[in-house]
Structure 1
Amino acid sequence: MSSSRMIEGSDDPVGYFIEDLTYHGKTERTRESYERVLRRFEAHLEDGTSPATATHRDCMAFIHSLRGNVADSTVATYAAYVHRFYGYMTEVGAFDGNPMTLVMEEMDETIDKDPARRDVSIPAMRSFVGRINHPLHRAVVCTLLKTGMRVGELCNLDLRDLAVTDAELEAAYPLGTRAALADRPNSLYVTPDATVGAELNGEIRTASNKRKRATVIPVDDELHTVLKRWLAIRPDTTSVAEPLFVGTAEGWGERLDPQSVRHIVKRYAREEGWYRTGGGAEENVTPHYFRHFFTTHLRDRTGDRGVVKYLRGDVADDVIDTYTHNWGDQVRETYEASVYRLLA
């Protein structure tokens, strides 16, 4: 369904959006969550007001109606869903603008977008990493913990997205060939261009990256070490994209997919007593927990919310531009001076 068809005939923008989520490969569970929230928003609007005509005040009134009835984390989640709905509809030309942009900027920054979670200290996480001996598994876990990237973003990394100052690795692998890494050694490039079912670097992707803008994340000496150990045993791959992380068991030499990464993390978390079947987000340690861990500890150590948001890929264009243009001073130096140690 094109945006022109939407503009010409559809009176159900929520249904249009949910249908497009299907085309983009979103799971049924995700689509149901979005529809439940968006229908609730739609029902809250006053008579005569539709999502297409709602203003930022209508959106603020909806968010306000949630407070006191649901947890703060749920308020933030609902706001994010409505924001993404408007962002997409604006992008395809169905709506003229996104009234949630101002609402998101004005929302109380104290709202925790993640539910209360297990409190794992840095020493405890260091011990956890120390018990992971498989080079691939350790590299996957450390990359998630050291960068805060999402599972899909990790799976979509190619060798060209990793730049390291290491003569042995540079001689053996086509590393860091992206132009954006030319003057940024020891870093990882996370692209916004990976989409389920679309071709990227010669390969059809099975996971999407959720970032709107490219991000360059520093690679410190610890991450360099574990990635080098992994590359020393990395199987050859038939993919012309040369994935950074490939299977060493089932799917030998094939790009890791999100399910495989979740299985790796669940295995070690269960052994640690950090994962229980049926346990919720407040109890279980998952790949997304590592993103929460990264955010919490790096923000506390740097005192710089902007750098952390840049690294997570969460910030607006103007802020991204600021950190992109001053990457060495504002990102690398802050990161390297503050990132926690994971190796004994």
Structure 2
Amino acid sequence: MATETTTGDDPDDPVGYFLQDLVFHGKTERTRQSYERVLRRFESFLADADENPFGRSIQPVDATHRHCMAWVHTLRGDVEPSTVATYAAYLHRFYAYMTQVGVFESNPMTLVMEEMDETIDKDPTRREIDVPTMRTFVAELTHPLHRAVVVTLLKTGMRVGEACNLDLRDVALSDSDANEAYDLGSRGELDGRPDSIFVSPEPSFGETSNGEERTASNKRKRATVVPIDAELKRVLVRWLAIRPDAVSPAEPLFLGTSEGWGERLDPEAVRHIVETHARERGWYRTGGGASENVTPHYFRHFFTTHLRDRTGDRGIVKYLRGDVADDIIDTYTHNWGDKVRETYEANIYSLLE
């Protein structure tokens, strides 16, 4: 670490204090560096009376929601909207933690995040990619991890954080050699539901789930069981055949195979994987935004559009996405075998050549 911190309840360097606690929490060096880069940028903005619009130097402990909003505003046009949201989430996590441990009195980012959620375009016009073209894209993914992550997102429509939060217990693969090597699908919710993925609404950023503090949140309104078709099963089995031993006792499904070897993939790593391959395809340009760039969230859009068009059943698509209310989701939960699974398997597109 490049910074030193004090150890009292009123640290002289609150950013350094937070970064040191990330070490104690077992965060990877890459994660700590990402936080440090963002938080030091915010700190410099507050300290520079010529840069911030308030005409005086301000310490992070004294920042209000207006100071935070002003900093977020400076990011727009400089970085992509998705990066603005990521930086804001980092700052929100910093203030939430410092408030929780009693160093700060309040979290000024709470209101900022609420305002941002209201202004984000939920349905931007996006690049249109047909199934044959996406199939060609998938064929170019030779790394078992990269292919498994991308096909999982494309075949299930789950959010990037939800994919990162998957543990081996959440994935049931019937008649597979992987069952000899791993304890797969041990959740009770998967009993009688072979070849399926359980997506829980519970994991939240900074909270502990299955014995591990999470770096991403699931945003589902209710738990969902998503079918695994033959293609997704094939790429998952191939990935599990070379998956390294996990650092975490939670046994994450997707682990790093280069930097962060054996550590749970975080959303930043997945976005990097997708961005790298999308750039090679001409589907990603710095500054391109959601209307142009192919990102993990684009795959959720792809899933929704193509499966809805094929099934004509918005309810099932909403169930699989985890977007529906209790009364609707209960219908599909109780009818999972003959309604959800049959409809899914009859209509899911093919991605493997």
Following superposition of structure 1 onto structure 2, how do residues 293-308 of structure 1 map, counting pairs within 5 Å?
293-308=302-317
Q: Following the alignment from structure 2 to structure 1, what is the Cα–Cα distance between the partners of residues 253 and 117?
A: 37
Q: Following the alignment from structure 1 to structure 2, what is the Cα–Cα distance between the partners of residues 237 and 33?
A: 33
How far does the alpha carbon of each residue in 1:158-206 deviate from its partner, in whole angstroms, 9 at most, with x for none? 0000001124111111000000001100000001110111111111111
Q: Following the alignment from structure 1 to structure 2, what is the Cα–Cα distance between the partners of residues 24 and 333?
A: 45
**1:24 deviation in Å?**
8.4
Matched residue, 2:157: 148
**1:238 deviation in Å?**
2.2
Matched residue, 2:138: 129
Q: Following the alignment from structure 1 to structure 2, what is the Cα–Cα distance between the partners of residues 115 and 192?
A: 25
Q: Structure 2: which amino acid aligns with 1:267?
A: T
User: Which of the numbers 96, 102, 110 marks the counterpart of 1:23?
Assistant: 96
- The verdict on how the C-alpha distance between 1:300 and 1:138 changes in structure 2, with shifts beyond 3 A counting, is same
Q: Following the alignment from structure 1 to structure 2, what is the Cα–Cα distance between the partners of residues 31 and 137?
A: 36
- The verdict on how the C-alpha distance between 1:229 and 1:116 changes in structure 2, with shifts beyond 3 A counting, is same
**1:233 deviation in Å?**
0.5
Following superposition of structure 1 onto structure 2, how do residues 30-179 of structure 1 map, counting pairs within 5 Å?
32=112, 34-35=114-115, 113-179=122-188
Q: Following the alignment from structure 1 to structure 2, what is the Cα–Cα distance between the partners of residues 342 and 20?
A: 38
User: Which of the numbers 344, 349, 352 marks the counterpart of 1:335?
Assistant: 344
User: Which of the numbers 212, 232, 245 marks the counterpart of 1:203?
Assistant: 212
- The verdict on how the C-alpha distance between 1:238 and 1:130 changes in structure 2, with shifts beyond 3 A counting, is same
Q: Structure 2: which amino acid aligns with 1:23?
A: A
Structure 1 residues without counterparts, runs of 5 or longer: 1-11, 13-17, 39-73, 79-112
Q: What secondary structure sits across from 2:242 in the alignment?
A: coil
Matched residue, 2:199: 190
Matched residue, 2:230: 221
Matched, 1:243 2:252: yes
**1:342 deviation in Å?**
0.2
Count of residue pairs the alignment pairs up: 257
Matched residue, 1:254: 263
Q: Following the alignment from structure 2 to structure 1, what is the Cα–Cα distance between the partners of residues 177 and 251?
A: 18
Q: Following the alignment from structure 1 to structure 2, what is the Cα–Cα distance between the partners of residues 236 and 212?
A: 32
User: Which of the numbers 276, 281, 284 marks the counterpart of 2:290?
Assistant: 281
Matched, 1:324 2:333: yes
User: Is 2:206–2:213's contact at 8 Å kept on the other side of the alignment?
Assistant: yes
Q: What secondary structure sits across from 1:232 in the alignment?
A: helix
Q: What secondary structure sits across from 2:198 in the alignment?
A: strand
User: Is 2:126–2:292's contact at 8 Å kept on the other side of the alignment?
Assistant: yes
Q: What secondary structure sits across from 1:251 in the alignment?
A: coil
Q: Following the alignment from structure 2 to structure 1, what is the Cα–Cα distance between the partners of residues 147 and 266?
A: 16
Q: Following the alignment from structure 1 to structure 2, what is the Cα–Cα distance between the partners of residues 285 and 240?
A: 33
Q: Following the alignment from structure 1 to structure 2, what is the Cα–Cα distance between the partners of residues 24 and 215?
A: 30
Q: Following the alignment from structure 1 to structure 2, what is the Cα–Cα distance between the partners of residues 144 and 331?
A: 18
How far does the alpha carbon of each residue in 1:44-84 deviate from its partner, in whole angstroms, 9 at most, with x for none? xxxxxxxxxxxxxxxxxxxxxxxxxxxxxx7xx57xxxxxx
Identity of matched residues, %:
67
Could you list the structure 1 runs, at least 4 aligned residues long, displaced by more than 2 angstroms after superposition: 18-25, 27-38
Q: Following the alignment from structure 1 to structure 2, what is the Cα–Cα distance between the partners of residues 260 and 304?
A: 33
Q: Structure 2: which amino acid aligns with 1:288?
A: H
Structure 2 residues without counterparts, runs of 5 or longer: 1-64, 66-88, 99-106
Q: Following the alignment from structure 1 to structure 2, what is the Cα–Cα distance between the partners of residues 210 and 197?
A: 14
Q: Following the alignment from structure 2 to structure 1, what is the Cα–Cα distance between the partners of residues 268 and 335?
A: 36
- The verdict on how the C-alpha distance between 1:208 and 1:37 changes in structure 2, with shifts beyond 3 A counting, is closer
Q: What secondary structure sits across from 2:180 in the alignment?
A: helix
**1:254 deviation in Å?**
0.2
Q: Structure 1: which amino acid aligns with 2:336?
A: W
Q: Following the alignment from structure 2 to structure 1, what is the Cα–Cα distance between the partners of residues 164 and 108?
A: 22
Q: Following the alignment from structure 2 to structure 1, what is the Cα–Cα distance between the partners of residues 281 and 313?
A: 32
Q: Structure 1: which amino acid aligns with 2:221?
A: K
Q: Structure 1: which amino acid aligns with 2:114?
A: Y
